[in-house]
Amino acid sequence: MIALSSDCLLFKTSTGEAVPYLADMISIELSGDAAQLFDADFIQQATKAVFHYFKFELRRQTVSVGEFAEALQKVLRGFKKCGFVRQPAIAAQTEPPPSRPALPFCLSSLALEAGEAGELLFFPKLREQLRMKLSQGHNLMRFTGLRGCVKQLTGARRWSSRCRQMEEQIVSFLQSCLTVEAPDGQTALVVE
């Protein structure tokens, strides 16, 4: 018998067959009006979040294709209600605002500050830092020390799949915060 990766989730098809998938292996394609609302990266991130929910939050080993599709549909409807949809292209603007890059902010130091509270304190403080830099008129957000931060939060000595997931979660969190806090699209984000 071949052992499956601990990151796999078995998808039951309508024929009763169970097919193992990793989060990165799932490809979703929307049709009709829904395809116009979300870009491919957004769909991929939402799909990974639903996968994570079943695998790690609910600790499920198997899920039906229909159940997964229903959960993803529910998530996308929620995003649509909140206004997280692709905006139509805006006509050429007169002149972009002058660029004012922010000094780099070290994510590792923020993870150390969070201490035992870990992610519970880290993410709210990270959003607070982003808001502060935006309020100062910066349109280039630069965050450094991502790898050290991830290891600190996960308590890992070596890089693992858990570290990779946390890294993706932090970057995704920063992107979504930036989308909410600076919806004009004039602010760039660099995470190193």
What is the mean pLDDT of each successive set of 10 residues along the chain, which is 192 residues long? 76 84 78 68 85 89 88 81 58 48 78 84 88 79 86 89 90 85 73 79
- In this predicted structure, what is the pLDDT of residue 191? 81
- In this predicted structure, what is the pLDDT of residue 63? 92
Closest CA to 30 of 20, 21, 42: 42
- In this predicted structure, what is the pLDDT of residue 83? 65
- In this predicted structure, what is the pLDDT of residue 92? 43
- In this predicted structure, what is the pLDDT of residue 100? 53
- In this predicted structure, what is the pLDDT of residue 120? 84
Question: Any idea what the Cα angle at residue 42 is, between residues 40 and 48, rounded to 5°?
Answer: 105
Q: Answer for the pair 138, 99: CB distance below 8 angstroms, yes or no.
A: no
The CA distance from 144 to 133, in Å, is 15
End-to-end CA distance of the chain: 41
Q: What is the pTM for the complete model shown?
A: 0.48
Q: How many helices (H) and strands (E) does the chain have?
A: 7, 6
Three-state DSSP at 185 gives coil
